[in-house]
Structure 1
Amino acid sequence: MKGLYTALMCSFDEKGNVNEKGLREIVRYNIDVQQVDGLYVNGSTGENFLISKEQKKQIFDVVKNEAGDDVKLIAQVGALNLDEAVELAQYVTQLGYNAISAVTPFYYKFDFDEIKDYYNAILDSVDNDLIIYSIPALTGVNMNLEQFGELFENEKVIGVKFTAPDFFLLERIRHAYPDKLIYSGFDEMLLSASVLNVDGAIGSTFNVNGKRAKQIFELAQNGQIEEAREVQKVTNDLIAEILDNGLYPTIKEILKYKDVDAGFCRKPMKSLTQEGVTKAEQIAERHL
């Protein structure tokens, strides 16, 4: 399960329906062109928190059907509705996903015992492994080393998608739990995380920059830090321009520029203006 995983985008039509043809094209582009090791399906980048349970199932179906066994697949099933998370975990396990993942429950200020019960309830329902999705900036859930350790006591919890800039905590987790998988979640900090010996990364920009991200990771693993730093600099130039223009819609426009039917973002996300579309195409021309 080690390696680089794309936080997979989903193609939607203008009414917000899943565009199956476009989704299949995104899957194939990531596998065949970006050459990533796996796909992380229905995470934040897939606009998961804007879609219905049935749409999530549809996306899980299409991705598994298109990808087959070409790459590893991780299904993000986390939801505020625990019954839905359990149902989705069972669904993707039956589909043959290699692992599940679940964001920490958010919005309500759940205490740690409630968070632990949430993960255990999901895992009690399936014969599958789970990767914690920790993204404190969006969930407001900050867990310490001891709390990660409590979650790791469940043998089915095999690792964490660590999307936080607290690299002191990252190093402590790596040192304390060498057998657990740690995936870096910030594309712009991939080199820094790789130096701390993470097992891989899961990133939004890998949809268009996966090959370069993999290069950073492999150079760092080989101790070629200066070379990796140069590739990270080029990558961060790209990321800075994407962020300035609007993260998700810009990545989708870049995919369209590459002849991938990436569709539209779901509302209330806004579409790019014509000026934004032009900028996205210019970003692709300069950097990709």
Structure 2
Amino acid sequence: MKGIMTALITPFNEDGTLNDKGLREVVRHNIDVMGVDGLYIGGSTGESFLMDEAMRSELLKIVKEEAGDAVTLIAQIGSLNIEEAIRLGNEAKELGYDALSAITPYYYKFSFEEIKSYYERITEETNHPMVVYSIPVLTGTQMTIDDYGELLAIPNVVGVKYSDTNLSRLTKLKELYPDKVFYGGADDMLLQFIISGADGAIGSTYSLLGKQAKALFDALQNSELKEAKNLQLEMNQVIAKMESIGVYQTLKHVLKEQGVDAGFMKFPFKELTDDEKRQASEIVDILASGK
């Protein structure tokens, strides 16, 4: 379960329904063209928190059907509705997903004991490997090293999608729990995450930058730090431009420019303006030039 994994976008039709054909094209693009090691389905990038349970279920089915066993598949099934999370988790398990993932409960200011009981219940009722999804900037949930330790001690919790920038904490966690898997969650800091002990990364931009991310990861495994630094700088040129326009919208626009039917955004996300599309199209040229 180590390596570079794409946080998969979800192509929608203009009316907000799932774009089956486009979703399959996005899956194939990531596996066949980007060459990533795995796919993370139903996370923030996939706009899953704007979907109902039936749509999330259909998403999991289509991706598994298209990807088969070609790469590692992790299903993000987290929800404020614990029964929904458990149903989706059991479905993903039956479909053959390698692991589940669940975002920490958000919106309400849950205590750590409440958060812990959330993971205990999901893992007990699904009995499948679980990757904790920690993204404090969106959930407001900050956890200490001891907190992470308690979650990692829960049976079936195999690791953490660590979308935080406290890298000294990550280094300590990997030192304390060397057998657990930690994924970096900030694409513009992939190099720093791997150096700090991450076993890989799960990132939005790897639908476009998967090759570079894989090369960076491999360079660091071979102690080629200069090459890795250069690759991170190249990636960051694209990432900065994406962030200035809108990451998810830009991902979909550029993929469509490359011939992949990435579909529309889910309401209330807006589509790009004509000017923003022109800016996003510059990324197509940057990627084509390899600079």
TM-score normalised by the chain length of structure 2: 0.98
SS at match of 2:133: strand
Q: Which amino acid aligns with 1:107?
A: Y
Deviation at 1:143, TM superposition (A): 0.5
**RMSD of aligned C-alpha atoms?**
0.7
Deviation at 1:174, TM superposition (A): 0.9
SS at match of 2:45: helix
* Post-superposition CA distance 1:194-224 (Å, at most 9, x none): 1123111000000111010111111112111
Q: Does 1:266 align with 2:254?
A: no
Residue 188 of structure 2: aligned partner: 188
Asked whether the 8 Å contact 2:170–2:197 carries over to 1, the reply is no
Q: Does 1:39 align with 2:39?
A: yes
Deviation at 1:9, TM superposition (A): 0.5
Asked whether the 8 Å contact 2:123–2:155 carries over to 1, the reply is no
Deviation at 1:267, TM superposition (A): 1.1
Residue 67 of structure 1: aligned partner: 67
Of the structure 1 ranges 79-88 and 271-280, higher mean CA displacement relative to structure 2 is found in: 271-280
Q: Which amino acid aligns with 2:61?
A: D
Once residues 215 and 12 of structure 1 are traced to their aligned partners in structure 2, the CA distance between those partners, rounded to angstroms, is: 31
Gaps of 5+ in 1: none
* Runs ≥4 residues deviating over 6 A: none
Residue 99 of structure 1: aligned partner: 99
Residue 78 of structure 1: aligned partner: 78
Residue 135 of structure 2: aligned partner: 135
Residue 51 of structure 2: aligned partner: 51
Gaps of 5+ in 2: none
Once residues 206 and 286 of structure 2 are traced to their aligned partners in structure 1, the CA distance between those partners, rounded to angstroms, is: 17
SS at match of 1:69: coil
Q: How many residue pairs were aligned?
A: 288
Asked whether the 8 Å contact 2:77–2:101 carries over to 1, the reply is yes
Once residues 3 and 248 of structure 2 are traced to their aligned partners in structure 1, the CA distance between those partners, rounded to angstroms, is: 23
Once residues 16 and 276 of structure 2 are traced to their aligned partners in structure 1, the CA distance between those partners, rounded to angstroms, is: 21
SS at match of 2:39: strand
Once residues 283 and 67 of structure 1 are traced to their aligned partners in structure 2, the CA distance between those partners, rounded to angstroms, is: 27
Q: Which amino acid aligns with 1:225?
A: L
* Post-superposition CA distance 1:144-180 (Å, at most 9, x none): 0001111111130000000011011111111111110
SS at match of 1:46: coil
SS at match of 2:272: coil
Residue 11 of structure 2: aligned partner: 11
Q: Which amino acid aligns with 2:93?
A: T
Once residues 234 and 132 of structure 1 are traced to their aligned partners in structure 2, the CA distance between those partners, rounded to angstroms, is: 30
